[in-house]
Amino acid sequence: MHTGERRVSEREDAVYEAASMYYLQDVTMEVIARRMRVSRSTVSRMIKEARSSGLVRVSIEPRGDGASALSRHLHQRFGVRARVVPVRAGATDVQRLDQVARVAGRLITEWVQPGTVLGLAWGTTLSAVVEHLVPKHAPGSAVVQLNGAANPVTSGIPHAGSIITAAAEAFDASVHHFPVPAFFDYAGTKQAMWRERSIRSVLTVQARADMAVFGVGAFTGALASHVYAGGYMSEEDQQLLRAEGVVGDVCTVLLREDGSYADIELNARATGPTPAELARVARRVCVVAGNAKVPPLLGALRARVATDLIIDEGTARTLLDRARQPIPAVPGSGRGER
């Protein structure tokens, strides 16, 4: 890239970053100026440029394969449309999640149209996202729960149900709960339940989804993933899964960092859609904040789970750094990048 082209690209990246903070995160021009180390008048000019260029209409529209350098790198590496959310240095995981959820909520609101069937997972990330949905009337739309929530300790239903119900209320949509466990005790029980008419009716709505929204679950991190902290599996189960190379899950379907999942025994008892089943949904939105989510996110992206990724800047950088490293081998399995 020539010097002139590089300067244009850097300018466009700066304009996008300023517009994203101003319009999607409600950050003031003064704070943006401090974060970007420019004057307030420079920020004002960038905001005006974003509007006049068409980058900002009612919402932020990414240009090309992504409007920032990190967005472009993520698209080139994983084939996703990435929205990288600028977050100040030193922000906690809670603050990162709040900023990412704010952007995700507004974008998802924009994407939901009359007649849209929206599939939602549940968990800490989705709970935050739903809080930032902007109420709008979308006649004929529906919200359907993608994975079961009951577990041996609690029903799990109030947590998942509140997320699904709140999303449906935001869009005046019909709601379809999924009254099954997160994991069945026996694969045969799942197979039998999948033949029940009440369950098949929900599976039918899931199969009609135009958009699916989900996070990734991780074993560790400041914001514990609900499936591991909420009694859905014992510490012994988690230790066995780690020994098998499992790093987390998407919709309670467990994944390794290399993107493999089909031979993990517990997945035969999981109630969420597999990456192959999710691939039938036209728009698949993965929302992630926090470095602890990087290993399972890598597995999810390698399994082609997402078409769209909404992620904070720090986590995006960590993700790209880790993607360049060899995949950790699973003891005794021969797995790992060579």
Average pLDDT score over residue span 265-275: 94
- Positive or negative: CA dihedral 95, 23, 50, 114: positive
pLDDT value at residue 144: 98
> Does residue 119 carry a pLDDT above 80?
yes
Q: What are the b/e assignments for 262-300, b being 16+ CB within 10 Å?
A: eebebbebbbbbbbeebeebebbbbbbbbbbbbbbbbbb
pLDDT value at residue 64: 40
Instruction: Write the pLDDT tens digit of every residue in 173-222.
Output: 999 999 999 999 899 999 999 999 999 999 999 999 999 999 999 877 66
Tell me the longest C-alpha to C-alpha distance in the chain. 65
pLDDT value at residue 338: 37
Task: Give the pairing of strands 246-250 and 253-256.
Answer: antiparallel
pTM: 0.79
Instruction: Write the pLDDT tens digit of every residue in 278-336.
Output: 999 999 999 999 999 999 999 999 999 999 999 999 999 999 999 999 887 765 555 65
Structural domains for the chain: 1-59 (1.10.10.60), 62-323 (3.40.50.1360)
